[in-house]
Amino acid sequence: MNQLRVGMIGYKFMGKAHSNAYRSLPMFFPNALKPEMKAICGRNASAVQEAADQLGWNESITDWRELIQREDIDLIDINAPSDAHKEIAIAAAKAGKHIFCEKPLALTLADAREMLQAAEDAGVRHMVGFNYRFSPAVRLAKKLVDSGRLGQIYHFRAWFLQDWIMDPQFPLVWRLQKEVAGSGSHGDLGAHLIDLAHYLVGDMQEVIGMSETFIKERPIASEMTGLSAKGSGDGPKGKVTVDDATLFLTRFENGALGSFEATRFAAGHRSTNAFEINGSLGSVKFDFERMNELEVYFTSDEEDVQGFRRVLATDPVHDYMEAWWPPGHTIGFEHTFIHEVLELSQAIAEGRQPVPSFEDGVKCQAVLEAVDKSIEERRWVSLSEM
């Protein structure tokens, strides 16, 4: 009973990150439940078998319905494209499996709520994949907020800036199709910022947004792999049905003001996932491209030496870091998933809900959808409407 038997659906970018997390957990966090990588599931039999071999799964399987019925599996990990989340999650819950689902939880708020309801009805554990919460530097920010060391929060501003689809010849991958992805930069990148805001500042009262699709048609992709794809500039084009960029303003319930921007058209930003919090007693700044660092300012510092400190969150005092390397030896993107799986594994062992759970997924979805509504209706939308 000190094992966690996992079946995973999906094997691209996120599938690899999750597999690595399961595989690494026992080496660095030996006291956690040990994940047993039972089976990986995908539609293409040869591709999923190849993934099983490379990623270290005991076996591969092509029918997810079969997977969730297996007796020898405790946890279903869902990182298939977003449009598949709902059906699988509900079925898995009904089969009594714990669920770890990538974000965004679902294509719509209604779907997300159904998923949460199903999980609660079934009494299973449920987690949604907001991995950035698990950066040690973000945990430090959380600790500073929660302990009151930043005082009353006045401002939260956040950006998730990328540039990978700026070339108009970049093809129409599934992430650019509304019916599969739900939304574009908003649900893919903005969702992370929204979750961080919930985590660090609290609930939102109302929102108003703005979005744009800068490149309206793109070559149809002939083949897709992970985030990239191959297409021909001369071939047929299809309509991009998601946003390239979405911005919104928010008022938090605690009175703080928030500003959010998610875009895939910020030249030079490979993946700037950044936020800043200003409180009455101090501020913090974070940028995932320098994920081991948190900049911290305190108004109480002596007046001649006040300034943002560049804290390298790699000391043993920082969450998770005692398990890794000596101070100053940094970790990377994939480590957020290892820490995420640690939380999942600890929660299951302790018989409690992991955090973030489907509730957090629902809450994020509510904001995503409120922003969409505010864009469509060109007005402030209260979260209470959702």
Assess 235 for contact with a copy of itself (CB under 8 A).
no
Q: Does 13 bind a copy of itself (CB under 8 A)?
A: yes
DSSP 289: G
Which range in 35-43, 182-190, 206-214, 352-360 contacts a copy of itself by CB under 8 A?
A: 206-214
Q: Is 310 in the site for a copy of itself (CB under 8 A)?
A: yes
Q: What is the C-alpha R_g of the chain?
A: 21
- Asked if 26 is part of the footprint of a copy of itself (rule: CB under 8 A), the reply reads yes
Closest CA to 198 of 320, 368, 61, 3: 368
Q: Does 162 bind a copy of itself (CB under 8 A)?
A: yes
Phi, psi of 122 (to 5 degrees): -85, -10
Cα 11 to Cα 49: distance, rounded to the nearest angstrom: 10
Q: Are 303 and 205 in contact (CB under 8 A)?
A: no
Identify residue 64 by its one-letter amino acid code.
W
> Within 27-86, which residues bind a copy of itself (CB under 8 A)?
27, 30, 53-56
Select 32 or 90, whichever has its Cβ closest to a copy of itself: 32
CB of 26 to a copy of itself, least distance (A): 7
Q: Which residues of 80-113 are buried (b: 16+ CB within 10 A; e: fewer)?
A: bebbbbbbbbbbbbebebbbbbbbbbbbbbebbb
List phi, psi (to 5°) of 303. -65, -20
Strands 204-212 and 245-252: antiparallel
Q: Which of 21, 73, 140, 189 binds a copy of itself (CB under 8 A)?
A: 140
**Binding a copy of itself by CB under 8 A: which of 36, 83, 87, 334?**
334
Q: Minimum distance between the CB of residue 224 and a copy of itself, rounded to whole angstroms?
A: 14
Q: Which stretch binds a copy of itself (CB under 8 A): 112-120, 193-201, 234-242, 244-252?
A: 244-252
- Restricting to residues 210-229, which ones interact with a copy of itself according to CB under 8 A? 210, 212, 214, 226-227
- Cα–Cα distance between 379 and 59 in angstroms, integer? 51
Min. distance of Cβ 230 from a copy of itself in angstroms? Answer: 14
309 binds a copy of itself (CB under 8 A): yes
Tell whether residue 239 is a contact of a copy of itself (CB under 8 A). no
